[in-house]
Structure 1
Amino acid sequence: MESQQPDQGTAEGRSRFYAIYVTGGYEERVVAVLAERARTLQLDVRSLVYSPDLKGVVFVEVGDVKDLYYVIRGVRNIKRRRPTAVNVDDILKLIRPPVAAAPVAKGDTIQVIGGPFKGMMGRIVDVRKGEVDVNLLEGDSKILVTIPIDQVKPLSKEERQGQS
């Protein structure tokens, strides 16, 4: 027996994602107005998303693009009346929370995993918000560099012994 799934070409089956450009700082207000209009007019607006880090853009998921044009018609603070189609993967990159960096402390031996010192080992001298001061252990001279905390990885005792 075949399962009955909505046709991917119809409005019920497939979502489309669009970026709407709004006046910077008004993203939350525009989302509230669009949500209320979609509810009142019973339009197929499935989600409204904005990121505080991305000023001037609101993302809308709709089943039918005609519903999008109805919901944005006449709304203040929308800069362009032509929404831009976007890929869902691009939206997820923007709204996912950043991955927490591995916990490091003063005196830890680390390996640099990004930036110009990638692959080098070092010892942490100081930890500040978002960055660490590292004494690089490569070569004869001790070089003190400041590196973003997300570009370092603490080494376990086994890894340190294997590198020596």
Structure 2
Amino acid sequence: MAPYFAVRITAGQEKSTALLIHTRCISRSLPIKAIIAPDEVKGFIFIESPSLHLVERAIAGMKHVKGWVPGKVASSEIESFLIPRSPLEDLNVGDVVEIISGPFRGMKGKVTRIDHTKEEVTLELLEAAYTLPITVHGDSIKKVTG
């Protein structure tokens, strides 16, 4: 496995810059193995390359690139961004959650059932005048209290 190098990017331009670097690597036949732009880390992308000089060639003169971080990044630090986390991982029946997308956005509800296979949650809306169970995807909620 080749080492990873961190490249500083203008915040908010990580994805577009990663695509530009990818295009440049293809056109110049640079042996870059991977370009990673995780959402969790703003202002940085990670490039898997056999050597730093290949990374320098890939990013030289590119818009939004501010430079690179000296040294290599351990692959164990990168792996945490590559393994997808389930949105239902820290959720239990009885937790109070807020709906962050969809027609019920901004409303709070109490979790009554969790379907881990479909990554769906059944809620009872707390702000409704009567018990109204709804089923939403796990990405549409965030935990308020446990």
TM-score (norm 1): 0.55
Which residue is equivalent to 1:42?
29
Which structure: larger Rg?
A: 1
Aligned residues: 104
Runs (4+) of structure 1 moved beyond 4 Å? 81-84
Q: What SS does structure 1 have at the residue aligned with 2:48?
A: strand
Counterpart code for 2:43: G
- In structure 2, what is the Cα distance between the partners aligned to 1:53 and 1:101? 17
Q: Which runs of 5+ in 2 are unaligned?
A: 96-108, 112-122, 124-140
Q: Percent identity, aligned pairs only?
A: 19
Q: Quickly say closer, same or farther: Cα 1:102–1:69, change in 2 above 3 A.
A: closer
Q: 1:131 aligns with which of 115, 118, 143?
A: 143
Which residue is equivalent to 2:72?
85
Matches within 5 A, 1:1-164: 14-99=1-86, 100-101=88-89, 104-106=92-94, 126-127=110-111, 129-131=141-143, 146-147=145-146
Counterpart code for 1:68: V
1:86-125 alpha-carbon deviations (Å, 9 max, x no partner): 0011011133222442764349xxxxxxxxxxxxxxxxx9
TM-score (norm 2): 0.61
- In structure 1, what is the Cα distance between the partners aligned to 2:41 and 2:12? 10
- In structure 2, what is the Cα distance between the partners aligned to 1:86 and 1:69? 16
Do the aligned partners of 1:45 and 1:62 also contact (CA within 8 Å) in 2? yes
Do the aligned partners of 1:20 and 1:83 also contact (CA within 8 Å) in 2? no
